[in-house]
Amino acid sequence: MSLPNPASFVCPLPLRDYPHIVMGHGGGGQLSAELIEHLFLPAFGNTQLNRLGDSAVLASPPGRLAFSTDSFVVRPLFFPGGSIGELAVNGTVNDLAMSGARPLWLSAAFVLEEGLLLATLGAIVERMAAAARAAGVAIVTGDTKVVERGHGDGCYINTSGIGVVPDGAEIDSALARPGDVVLVSGYLGDHGMAIMSVREGLAFESATGSAPIESDCAALHTLVAAMLAAAPGGVHVLRDPTRGGAAATLNEIAASTALGIALNDDAIPVRPTVRAACEMLGLDPLYVANEGKLLAIVAPEAEQAVLGAMRVHPLGRDARRMGTVQAAPQGMVTVRTGLGATRIVPVPLGEQLPRIC
């Protein structure tokens, strides 16, 4: 995917004569109304949103509801393989999907920094709309606020989402059992390293001839649906390893279940380019963020069926087993190194820091 060129975005005019976001765009007056009419509605438009009520009124579908929220702050706003727009949709869609839900509706709240180019906002909104269409979710309510220049990173987005969990789908970390297998849907660390590759001060290019590192940002609910259908009751836990990477997510599962998770270093899928970038910066791919991968804890007898279903899905082609659930050591994630020793995969403290040499 090539980087978008915000300058080439054709804004559905007339948005008055302001090429930038000004404080008035968040003031609730004419400027706000124009932003909605000429930017948000053309992009997101659906019967609910078009009513422009204070809240969306939705007919409750049968089944249990899943409800989730997430805020998105990322710099730069556009990065190889995606933008804050796709992240804002797919992030919440994935949070819903990890409880087995079919995502239905999203809200979108924007906090814009005074001075943001309207064309940039337009490009973000277009990408959000495309991601929502692709995921089959409707953005049914929203909000826009503007903060003074210098008080925001251009654009922050919060999305909340509602989905419906089909009867029979029980996804809960309490269901993990010793003997379960840990599956991963594909290569780890793509998103975090894609962001890092374009950050000021750390910008690097991959070696000649190899593809640049791109974010894996994607909506995972259809992959989840395929997994659940392939082995009813066999998928015990689903998580998307975003911030803190697989290490943080697996540690959370281990801690909440008081079980041990044993990984095999040789089975942890990392692209050569991502691994090279991590080696160069002194980072561990297990701790790097993903935006289009899931970890599944699956009953051993369901492993083949689930893996089979994952591998025929475009987002699960590289799915594999990377570890098992064990009774001990309780609450800990360990990894068996390539040399046959065992070490701990600790909970990350905060952000990983590139090391000195």
Q: Does 301 bind another protein (CB under 8 A)?
A: no
Instruction: Assess 197 for contact with another protein (CB under 8 A).
Output: no
Q: Which stretch binds another protein (CB under 8 A): 22-30, 80-88, 148-156, 275-283?
A: 275-283
Position 52 contacts another protein (CB under 8 A): no
Helix (H, G, I), strand (E, B) or coil at 90: helix
Position 211 contacts another protein (CB under 8 A)? no
Q: How far is the CB of 258 from another protein (least distance, A)?
A: 13
Per-residue binding letters, 60-89, with another protein (x by CB under 8 A): ------------------------------
Contact 217, 82 (CB under 8 A): yes
**By CB under 8 A, is residue 343 in contact with another protein?**
yes
Q: Exactly one of 41, 109, 226, 281 binds another protein (CB under 8 A); which one?
A: 281
Instruction: Please tell me whether residue 334 binds another protein under the rule CB under 8 A.
Output: yes
Give the C-alpha separation, 179 to 163, whole Å. Answer: 31
The CA distances from residue 61 to 91, 134, 220, in Å, are 22, 21, 21
CB of 338 to another protein, least distance (A): 5
The closest of 107, 17, 34 to 67, measured between CA atoms, is 107
CB 88 within 8 A of CB 72: yes
Nearer to another protein, 59 or 341 (CB): 341
Spatial contact of 98 and 238, defined as CB atoms under 8 Å apart: yes
Instruction: Using CB under 8 A, count the residues that bind another protein.
Output: 27
Say which residues have a Cβ less than 8 Å from residue 261's Cβ, sequence separation at least 6.
182, 250, 253, 254, 323, 324, 325, 326, 332, 333, 334
Judged by beta carbon, residue 232 or residue 272, the one nearer another protein is 272
Between strands 181-184 and 320-326, the pairing is: antiparallel
The yes or no reply on residue 10 touching another protein (CB under 8 A) is no
Angle, to 10 degrees, between the axis of helix 303-311 and the axis of helix 221-230?
A: 140
Nearer to another protein, 136 or 354 (CB): 354
Q: Which stretch binds another protein (CB under 8 A): 58-66, 135-143, 298-306, 333-341?
A: 333-341
Return the bridge partners of 175, or none. none
Q: Are 118 and 33 within 8 A, CB to CB? A: no
Among 14, 201, 209, 314, the residue binding another protein under the rule CB under 8 A is: 201
Q: Does 349 bind another protein (CB under 8 A)?
A: yes
Per CB under 8 A, 134 contacts another protein: no
Measured between alpha carbons, how far is 195 from 193 in angstroms, rounded to an integer? 5
Question: Rule CB under 8 A: is residue 346 a binding residue for another protein?
Answer: yes
Asked whether position 209 contacts another protein by CB under 8 A, the answer is no
Nearer to another protein, 170 or 284 (CB): 284
Question: Burial code of 119-134, b = ≥16 C-beta within 10 A, e = fewer?
Answer: bbbbbbbbbbbebbee
Q: How far apart, in whole angstroms, are the C-alpha atoms of residue 315 and residue 310?
A: 8
344 makes contact with another protein (CB under 8 A): yes
Pairwise CA distance, residues 109 & 298, whole Å:
36
Binding string, residues 253-272; x marks residues near another protein by CB under 8 A: -------------------x
With CB under 8 A as the contact rule, the residue among 220, 310, 332, 333 that binds another protein is: 332
Residues that bind another protein (CB under 8 A): 201-202, 272, 275-276, 279, 281-282, 328-329, 332, 334, 337-344, 346, 349, 353-357
